[in-house]
Amino acid sequence: MHDHPHTDASQIFAAVQRQIPTATLQAVYNNLNALTEVGIIQEIKPKGRVSLYETRVGDNHHHIVCRVCGHVEDTDCKGFAPCLSPSSNHGYAIDQAEVIFWGICPSCQNAASHNHEGEDHENCR
């Protein structure tokens, strides 16, 4: 996950199986859940997409997701945690805000400008 941030469980499972052929997908999920619970990795849950995992934790960053190809980039917060403030904290001691920005990545923008409107630009990266 250090070399391939924003990886999903099936991609992690494929990498693990190359090293440990007897590994199971359930074992990968169990380990991902345990590592997330103790804060060693972070789970990202873009709406309508599978969960993604990364090792970048504890630094108050957010994510940008391409609506077309699903590529994810990190983006640093412009301030201190949490970098957003709710209208009311309801008595909570808020220490984190989770933000996912959505848009269209440069590769997909370029593909769209070179193709006819309405064509599928799946996996344009």
The structure tokens listed for 41 are 């990795």
Is 105 annotated to bind a ligand? Reply is: yes
66 annotated as ligand-binding: yes
> Binding site annotation covers 77?
no
- DSSP H helices, the chain, are 9-19, 25-37, 106-114
124 marked among binding-site residues: no
Query: Which amino acid makes up residue 22?
Result: T
Kindly provide the residue ranges of all beta strands, DSSP E only, lying in 14-122, ordered along the sequence.
42-44, 52-54, 61-66, 72-76, 100-103
- Residues making up the annotated binding site for Zn(2+) are 66, 69, 105, 108
- Residues making up the annotated binding site are 66, 69, 105, 108
